[in-house]
A = this chain, B = another copy of it.
Amino acid sequence: MNKLLLILLGLGTVTLHAQNVQDQQGVKEIYNEALSRGKSYEMLRDLCINIGPRLSGSPGAAAAVEWSRHVMETYGFDSVWLQPVMVPHWVRGQQEIGRIVNSKKIGTVNLSVCALGGSIGTGPSGITSSVIEVKSFDELKQLGAKAVQGKIVFFNRPMDPTQINTFGAYGGAVNQRGSGAVEAAKLGAVAVIVRSMGLNQEDYPHTGSMHYEPKVPMIPALAVSTKHADLLSKLLKDEKELTVYLENHSEILDDAPSYNVVGQITGSEYKDEIIDIGGHLDSWDLAQGAHDDGAGCVQSIEVLRLFKALGIKPKRTIRAVMFMNEENGLRGGLKYAELAKAKNENHIAAIESDRGGFTPRGFTMSGTAAVKAKIKSWKPLLEPYGLSDFEQEGGGADIGPLAASGTAMIGYLPDSQRYFDIHHTPADTIDSVNKRELELGSAAMAALVFLIDRYGLK
């Protein structure tokens, strides 16, 4: 080996080392700022308390749009704008009623129920019928139209508590909520009751989206609390003729105008390379939407604020995107991707935070092997901050439509254990959010954006 080569190799090592030290220092500064002077929690508290529930098409959603714009303008991002998008407009109406009418054992008992998002109403006279319990669509089909006709179908397959990743358990049960009404209506059912998507014995129901299909009758769909699901199931074992009364006043209105809200710091060198970081601004109507997904929104804003507070001038363009309508339509995510394509924008990466503001575990990824390898190469920089899981596939619902254009999909991955205790329930409030856990999530996302901005993903 000649001397020149040795010197060059030596210089290479020095450069690499210096770079690594700069990276470590950059990440450390981001965490220091987020944990000492972070604004994530203050923002989320404001959104939860002063805006509150913000279902697509509601006054709350409109207020949240203005709130996001105002917050990002106040922080002085380079540009802040709204993207108009038409969204589904569903209203719950007055408090639902669920009632066991005639139990021989316990008489008349109220059930803790709520309409699923998208459901039609029962009409003012409600629906009274006997109930048939099933655990799966297969079981329902085997029972057939003769058994189901005129009945209320009660879907009661619990989430599997033995799955360590609670999202896996959710995935294994949620088709009952989404498609239960369609499958039951095909066989002549008059309504469905769905066991709430929760792992505990709880007093409150979990709402969430359901859908109808063309040519299948639309029937009301309500969630019942896990505690009352167990009660109902127990009674049905001995009382086959048990009758339940359901009443809800939900309505599907005409689509309503709304907006995605976007804030941007424009890149200094490669401004056409865009890194998205986002969450969804809409929430269910029953709660403050603190974890789902106020957390993801304020964390995304905080990423840009951290860059500004630390004087980091990104080479690439960084956008915080508050998507509208993830919960019941995904119209915001679709619109964002549609506009990106129309403008021929180059979104090199999109990061979504929509798994709650819990303590960090890592990032999920979908993309080429090269992209995954590049992100994983930063693991030594991120692991000291509790980010050790880089093996799961996935991005996020709102950013999903960008994938078709080759954007690398990345999901912020917090711990999943507490999420389904509060998901889509009145318990999803600011009080269920831990300040440090939320801040660590913001810092994790900012650190990853910092590295993607420095090195790209190629």
Contacts and interface: CB of A to CB of B under 8 A. Distances in A.
Interface stretch (A103-111, A273-281, A414-422): A414-422
A363 B434 CA distance: 23
A200 B435 contact: yes
Contacts of A421: 434
A385 B164 contact: yes
A434 B415 contact: no
A280 B417 CA distance: 25
Contacts of A200: 435
A440 interface: yes
B388 A417 contact: no
Interface stretch (A29-37, A131-139, A212-220, A233-241): A29-37
A230 interface: no
A164 B31 contact: yes
Copies held by the complex: 2
A161 B36 contact: yes
A204 to B, nearest CB: 16
* Contact-residue size bin, chain A (C-beta under 8 Å from the other chain): 20 to 34
A203 to B, nearest CB: 14
For A385, A436, A440, which residue has the most chain B Cβ atoms within 10 angstroms? A436
Contact of A388 (B32, B199, B389): B389
A163 to B, nearest CB: 9
A448 to B, nearest CB: 16
Contacts of A36: 161-162
A131 to B, nearest CB: 26
A68 interface: no
Contacts of A166: 436
Nearest to A163: B35
A359 interface: yes
A32 B162 contact: yes
A386 B166 CA distance: 12
B164 A415 contact: no
Given A421-B434, A435-B200, A415 B359 contact: yes
B161 A35 contact: yes
A437 interface: yes
24 contacts: A31-B162, A31-B164, A32-B162, A35-B161, A35-B162, A36-B161, A164-B384, A164-B385, A164-B386, A164-B440, A200-B435, A359-B359, A359-B415, A359-B417, A361-B386, A386-B415, A388-B388, A415-B415, A417-B434, A417-B436, A417-B437, A418-B434, A418-B437, A421-B434
